[in-house]
Each structure stands twice: as C-alpha cells, then as structure tokens.
C-alpha cells in the first residue's frame, strides 16, 4: 500500500513528471505550459494557489512517487461554505488497481470534512469510462446538467477588455 503525505518542495519534479504523464494519457500534451519553477511557486510560494498530496510506494528500499492529487479551495454561494476542488488525480499505470486512487480520494474527502467544506468536486472527461465507473462506485455523482466554461490564453486577454 502507498503512503500518502502532503507534497513538499522536494516533490515538485516528481509531480511535474506525473502531470506530463497525465497529459499524455488524456492526449492533452499540447496544452502543457508547466515547469518545475512555475509549479514550485504555485504550491509553495508566498501565496499558494493549490496543494498536493503524493502517494509513495516502497519497492525494495527504494521509494517511488506512484501518484498524486492536486487540489484547491473553492466556494459555494448556495451553501455559503468553502469546497475542495480536485484539479488532477493521477496514478501511474503500473500502480493502478492497488487502491492508491481510492486512498487519495478518501484522503481528500477527509480533508474536506475536517476543513468544513460543503462539497468535494472534480471534473472527468466524458470519454474516460473507467474513471467515471470508478468515481460512481465510490459514491460520486457525475453531474449530467453541468458543463465547464473556460476562457484561456488570447481569448482570456480579449475577454478581460
């Protein structure tokens, strides 16, 4: 079983590698702009934008980062409570099926409860049937009536003016 712990600055390179692996799995590498320096600033700078948890496995005395979850606090006006939003969860393929993804989700669920959150939310790609089945089996509801709206890059610059 994996050991879960809050990410530390020494984990940044491993988390970047996992984010790249996630982008490859989702066929979204063309969207990557991540660097270790950028992630370091966002997780551990003076005003962190997100937090992360890493899952480590010990293989014959060699500890390896097998997965991670990156999350941040959001807010529900209807509940008038903070929420926990899972931006990314990824477990390397060779470690899937060993309970690491479930352990990461449960860990974040406990964090949400401890922090007084009214919700724990995330998005899933509509083609990712294994993930959808996994999340539903854990008790999550895939919201059929909601769609994500996004403005980024040049469109965001135009949107702001």
What secondary structure does DSSP assign to 61-74, as a single string? TEEEEEEEEEEEEE
Question: In DSSP terms, which residues pair with 82 in a beta bridge?
Answer: 75
Please state at what angle helix 12-25 crosses helix 36-44, rounded to 10 degrees: 110
Q: Which residues are catalytic?
A: 135
Between CA 97 and CA 24, with CA 65 as vertex, the angle to 5 degrees is: 70
Count of beta carbons in the 10 Å neighbourhood of residue 98: 16
Q: Which of 50, 43, 33, 40 is nearest to 13 (CA)?
A: 40
Q: Which of 53, 72, 76, 60 is nearest to 7 (CA)?
A: 53
């Amino acid at each position: 079983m994996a050991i879960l712990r809050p990410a530390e600055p020494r984990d940044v390179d491993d988390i970047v590698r996992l984010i790249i692996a996630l982008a490859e799995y989702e066929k979204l590498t063309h969207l990557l702009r991540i660097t270790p320096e950028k992630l370091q600033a966002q997780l551990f700078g003076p005003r962190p934008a997100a937090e992360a948890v890493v899952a480590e496995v010990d293989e014959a005395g060699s500890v390896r980062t097998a997965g991670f979850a990156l999350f941040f606090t959001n807010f529900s006006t209807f509940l008038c409570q903070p929420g926990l939003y899972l931006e990314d969860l990824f477990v390397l393929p060779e470690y899937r099926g060993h309970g690491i993804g479930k352990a990461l989700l449960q860990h974040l669920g406990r964090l949400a409860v401890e922090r007084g959150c009214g919700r724990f939310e995330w998005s899933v790609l509509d083609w990712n049937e294994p993930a959808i089945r996994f999340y539903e089996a854990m008790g999550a509801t895939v919201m059929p009536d909601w769609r994500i709206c996004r403005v980024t890059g040049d469109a965001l610059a135009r949107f702001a003016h």
